[in-house]
Structure 1
Amino acid sequence: MLALLGLAIAVLLVLRVPVAFAFLGPSLAYMAVNGRSPGSALREVANAADSFPLLAVPLFIFVGALANHAGIADRLFRFAMAALAGVRGNLGYVAVGVSVGFSWMSGSAVADAAATGKVSITAMLRNGYSRRFATGVVASSSLIAPVMPPSIPAVIYAGLAAVSTGALFAASVVPALLMALGLCIVVFFLVRRQPNLTRGRLDRRELLDSLKQVVFPLFAPVVILGGILGGIFTPTEAAAVGVVYMLLLGLGQRSLSWAGLLAAVKETALTTASIMLIVASASLLGYILARERLPQMLTEALFSFTDSPTVFLIVCVLLCLVLGTVIDATAILVLVVPILMPIALQFGVDPIALGVTLIISLMIGLLTPPVGTVLFVIAAVSKTRIGEVFRGCLPFLIPSVVIVILTIAFPDAVLAIPRALGL
């Protein structure tokens, strides 16, 4: 029965049926065949969405949407340009820096790519950068957003694994910064033999003016993360405070119009509906897999193969990389976390370290066809073919792979900040 269920889902995914419905249809058929009432299926779906920690997801999405429509990405770009004027390949570093700044308010790779892609890629093409380089660095930089807190995948994982969201946020900071450093190193090697990729000179007045424009927006992550890590807010409360702060900032500075506010509300509603539908359908499928004893079978198979936590983590990463090419990252998290968590505990793997490793691995899937959501966003904003964007991303994927390897090899380093903060 399990094989038939998997085959039905695979066929639907190949036929490009949306992931939520590809999971939901065969799952409902399974429930009917096994004599389970529609009410029990509906109860599983409703229970998956009825979660206080998941309430932070639409709120963090709203924070990112407000930041986007308030033009904060443009302000960050202007400041980064002023700070790095005269540096060879400066626009490559600017793209990474803007993504880091915007990631503190977004938590979503798609939102980051959409907000920063058009202005960064247009500027690079206008100043002599190749289209492949421009699209590759912007697309790859957007992966920092779902790793750097406040991270939407981290909120979802924490809810599924019943771990501290604050601890997961704290553990994700260093890997996210290392990803940014790795991207800058790749930019350095790609532009070092192109002396023409230099623009302008340092203008202290422009630097000061642009700095004034980003001071208050960059205070938002201090409010959100400081409140969570300091124990002042729960993640959900911090997300709500972040929404209020961004509203006051956007409306107070008149950078957010009423039309922009309505657009942000609409964008948040659509994105949240999409995510929660995936969460609900994947939860029903996860219930079925648990009923069929798949976690127990996987545990027995893995322990017959190895008793090494490192090998287990490598298997988890490979699983995420393969699934990430065809399934949305949110669906994979909802599907695999309830299965992998009890196995991880038996192997002695810390749930926080596992979460960081899984999230970074899944984000790589955003840049791999055929699903690769970020590839489609960057291709659309830059009017570039998907294949060209993907080829541009290849050298920039190296840092993400290296960070995944480091999280597997040195889990204690990942856990250093949460332990220091007592989380």
Structure 2
Amino acid sequence: MIAVLFISMLILIVIGAPIAIALGGSSMIWVYLTNAVPDFAILHRMVMGVDSFPLLAVPFFILAGSLMNAAGLTNQIFDFAKACVGWLPGGLGHVNVGASIIFAGMSGAAVADAGGLGTIEIKAMDDAGYDRDFSVAVTAASSTIGPIIPPSLPMVIYGVMASTSIGALFIAGFIPGLLMGLALSILVYYFAKKRHYPKDSSFSLKRLGQTFIKGLPALFSPVIIIGGIATGVFTPTEAAIAAVAYSLILGFVYRTMTVKKFMAVSMETIESTAVILLIVAGASIFAWILTANRVTENFASALLAFSQNKFVVLMLINIILFVVGFFMETLAAITILTPVLLPTVVALGVDPIHFGVIMVLNLMIGLLTPPVGMVLYVLSRVAKVPFERCASATLPFLIPLVTVLLLVTFVEPIAMWLPRLIFQ
């Protein structure tokens, strides 16, 4: 009957059903066929799945990122990043990566980064004579930094499912996110030298100061979010609310926010939040069935029987997550797989915070791989490039991302040094 659960879910996904419907629908089929629990148990477990205070951070972080996009803050971020690293060979490629690192401290979502900054970045690189494929590939790869550097919507979901500190998860992603940016910049430098891409401009301390001052209100947003969580002033949920309030203030400061824009952004946030919470609800009943039928225990036993070596098991789990990322949306994968995989790694002495960073980073790479590849779909529309061409252009940029994933997996202090320093 567990096989029926998985087969029905896969059939629903293949025929194009939304992932939330696939998860909830397959669970209903299982309950109907087994008659193991009353029908109302499905509704009960779904409600329990979303009845969580930390999940309140989700709509507020989505709203904050959308407000910053609507307020035009992406222009200030791009100009400051250009002044910082535009003088390097392949300057606008480095600017692309740098702007994503800065914006990551505001949005917490890769798709928001790709959709918000992507339009500006690709146009600027087109005007400067860069290949469209290269521009799309850099934009896609750098957008995956968004959910690693705090705040992060996937880490909020993981924190809820794993019952672990979301604040510690946020801080743990900071160094891996910077490493992702560094690794991508190295590859950009290689392509720039090979293809003779130009520098954007010579370095100017005056220009750096001017763009910093102009963009200071926008650049201060990550300081409020990350600093507030790290110092204990905010919980992650309170930090999300503070980010929304600050975004509204910036909209009025820059005089770019109108009532019409605010209403449009609010409706988008409601729609995005409803989709995410429906996925969480559907995945909750699915994960509950797996747990109740001891699938998680059996899976853990099978892995531990295969090897008791922590690094071998982590490598196997990384391969599983990488394959899952090809076919499943990130939040659904987190909600289903966390109860299955977490007991195994904890039994081997892996910290749940460390594993959370590994899981989210791995699944972010899945955003760049077909057939699901949400970031590729967004940039395909933004850049007016066929999806298949976006996927093939992005392929070389998987190398630095996978390299960082392996470093984070096997060198624990990369993820754990900062949270242990702050939360000890």
TM-score, normalised by the number of residues in structure 1: 0.97
Aligned-residue offset at 1:201? 4.1
CA drift at 1:229? 1.0
Alpha-carbon shift at residue 321 of structure 1 (Å): 0.8
Counterparts in 2 of 1:101 and 1:420: CA distance versus 1, 3 Å: same
Post-superposition CA distance 1:314-335 (Å, at most 9, x none): 1221111111111100000000
Match of 1:30 in 2: 30
Q: Does structure 1 retain, via aligned residues, the 8 Å contact 2:159–2:166?
A: yes
**Alignment partners' CA distance in 1, 2:229 and 2:83:** 32
Please name the residue that 2:58 is paired with. 57
Q: 1:316 to 1:161 in 2, by over 3 A?
A: same
Name the SS of the counterpart of 1:371 in structure 2.
Answer: coil
What is the aligned partner in structure 2 of residue 293 from structure 1?
A: 294
Provide the aligned length of Structure 1 versus Structure 2. Answer: 423
How has the CA–CA distance of structure 1 residues 196 and 352 changed in structure 2, closer, same or farther, with 3 Å as cutoff?
A: closer
Q: Counterpart of 2:111?
A: 110
CA distance in 2, matches of 1:138, 1:94: 10
1:8 corresponds to: 8
1:309 and 1:234 map into 2 onto residues whose CA distance is 32
SS of the equivalent of 2:328 reads: coil
Runs of 5+ in structure 2 lacking a partner?
Answer: none
1:202 Cα shift? 4.6
Report the Cα offset of residue 312 of structure 1.
1.6
The 5 A counterparts of 1:124-203 are 124-195=125-196, 197-202=198-203
Q: The residue matched to 2:107 in structure 1 has which SS?
A: coil
Specify the code of the residue in structure 2 equivalent to 1:9: M
Cα-to-partner distance string for 1:125-178 (whole Å, 9 max, x where unaligned): 121111110000000000000111001111111111111111111111100000
Q: Aligned equivalents of 1:24 and 1:111: distance in 2?
A: 27
TM alignment of 1:254-273, pairs within 5 A: 254-273=255-274
> CA separation in 2, counterparts of 1:412 and 1:204?
35
Alignment map for 1:213-292 (pairs within 5 Å): 213-292=214-293
For the residues of structure 2 that align with 1:419 and 1:203, how far apart are their CA atoms?
A: 38
Question: How far, CA to CA, are the matches of 1:6 and 1:226 in structure 2?
Answer: 43
Q: Please give the secondary structure, in 2, of the residue aligned with 1:325.
A: helix
User: Corresponding residue for 1:98?
Assistant: 99
SS in 1 for 2:401: helix
Deviation at 1:403, TM superposition (A): 1.2
What's the secondary structure of 2:150's corresponding residue? coil
For residue 138 of structure 1, what is the amino acid of its counterpart?
A: T
Equivalent residues of 1:13, 1:326 under 8 A apart: no
* Matches of 2:18 and 2:397, distance apart in 1: 28
Q: Cα distance, 1:374 vs. partner? A: 0.2
Gaps of 5+ in 1: none
Query: Match of 1:68?
Result: 69
Amino acid at match of 1:181: L
TM-score normalised by the chain length of structure 2: 0.97
